[in-house]
Amino acid sequence: MAFPLQGDDAARRTPPSEISNPYWVAFSKSCAELINIPVANNDLPTDHKWLELLAGNSLETEFHQFSNPLATAYSGHQFGVWAGQLGDGRAILLGDIASQELQLKGAGKTAYSRMGDGRAVLRSSIREFLCSEAMHALGIPTSRALAVVGSKMSVMRETRETAAVCARVAPSFIRIGHFEHYSSLENTGRLKELADDLIEKHYPECHNSIEPYLELFKSMSNKNATLVAKWQAVGFCHGVLNSDNISVLGLTIDYGPFGFLDQFQIDHICNHSDHSGRYAFHRQPQIMHWNMACLASAMLPLVELNHSSVEAQELLKSALESFPIIFAEEWQKGFRDKLGLQTAEEMDIRLIERLLQLMHDSGVDYTSLFRSLGDIDKDAAVVNISLRDHFIDRGTIDLWLQDYLARLSRESVDDETRQALMNTVNPKYVLRNHLAQRAIELAQQDDFSEVHKLLKILSNPFGEQPEHHQYSQAPADHVRAIPVSCSS
């Protein structure tokens, strides 16, 4: 079974609850290929039983049977406060398929639903589906989305909406909250089971270490440091970086009130429920580091198996100090790549920081600006560079452009090669909120064409796709501030 821990204290058998008259909203052929599901010419599974299975109405297809669906227990910190036991409140793990785990989100109540109904709505399911697949195409580690199945069954949120189930795929859905759960219960046996399984299946390089649990922590911390650096580079805001939403594999999971930056604000808050700005864009690295500290605390009993308490704390503290180092290295590399710099100079960091400050001051569109940098030639005259028109302080951006051109002149690659490389790291297309909202509004009228269209466009984010150029444009003022919250 996919989840390594057996017993009611770890997970409860939870068959999905049926939805009425299910229908396809969206299906990812790319994700289907990952888990070896045959797909017909209409980009849907050849086996029609997949619709009923992904709706939660069945547990088998022609070649697959999931006999032990589970919801798992975990705990965690939410908005910096210990929340105690949480668990899979609306996610049900069906089981393994082609070395991946298949999970249904919104398939009904579980033992951990608390006051919730265990359901997801069409709106949030479409957002998660599209962003999961978009992030994968951007090269950012993420859970995948196989499908969205809809129903006219009513679900109450802020208003009455219709139900949907999002099928998610990942090598593992274990999160920091699983470690925190057993640590809070002082159950070192369960902690050891969890860690040993992760080492066996996902971190085999830790197996022969004289400090396997310390090395496991380092590996998980480093993966998440790299992940958040990639978020910052592409302008992605997660929105709810609670410790129970952080993957032990360094994957982006639990898409809720996320958002890609439009007008650049370094302190942008994408979740309107985040009143203190805890999870603002510029704080994401700091918060991820804080979450790694939570993981270190949870794993302390494992390191104490071979060390005194004081020694174990010092070892984990030292390991935790590598997070900002790894993050800085990845962040600097990511932004050098975005600026087309193949070599490293000390002045590069200041050059990057100056650009970001200028973008913040002028509210420049994040994705479009970096994409347009690839159009600049080394020998261009500053006054002929069109992107300067997006900045309020023309004199200051001109000074930056002079320094940037001087920096490019010290690179050995020609303009054509550099520009091609830049266009492989600076996407033209991201899932902007107004695009997702338009697809949702049409889907709520039973028109799923825009969902399908966005999936196709976002599967090739670095391509020019001139026929879809309007999808790369910054949003108009009247659709820029679309609110998203934890129910999104």
Selecting among 43, 117, 244, 446, the annotated active-site residue is 244
Which residues are 155's β-sheet partners?
161
Whether 244 sits among the annotated catalytic residues: the reply is yes
Strand-pairing partners, residue 24, are 149
3 state SS of 160:
strand
Q: Where are the alpha helices (DSSP H) in 150-211?
A: 176-184, 188-201
Our CA dihedral for 339, 345, 350, 354, rounded to 10 degrees, sits at -30
Taking the C-alpha atoms of residue 318 and residue 320, their distance in angstroms, rounded to an integer, is 5
Spatial neighbors of 121 by CB under 8 A, at least 6 apart, are 106, 155, 157, 161, 162, 163, 164, 487
Contact 24, 138 (CB under 8 A): no
Nearest to 302 by CA among 175, 196, 178: 196
Please give the Cα distance from 150 to 23 (Å, whole number). 5
- Measured between alpha carbons, how far is residue 195 from residues 116, 192, 476 in Å? 30, 5, 49
Partnered with residue 97 across adjacent β-strands are: 100
CA atoms within 13 A on the CB side of 379: 3
C-alpha dihedral, 93 to 95 to 100 to 106, nearest 10°: -30
Structure tokens at 234: 């592409």
3-state secondary structure of 380: coil
How many residues are given for the chain? 488
Residues 235, 81, 488, 258: what is their CA dihedral angle, to the nearest 10 degrees?
Answer: 0
Q: Whole-angstrom Cα distance, residue 407 to residue 77?
A: 44
Contacts of 164 (CB under 8 A, 6+ apart): 25, 106, 120, 121, 122, 124, 125, 126, 148, 149, 150, 151
Q: Which residue has the tokens 């609670």?
A: 242
The Cα 263–Cα 367 span in angstroms is 9
Query: Count H helices, E strands: the chain?
Result: 15, 12
Q: Give the distance from CA 161 to its chain's centroid.
A: 25
Cite the active site residues: 244
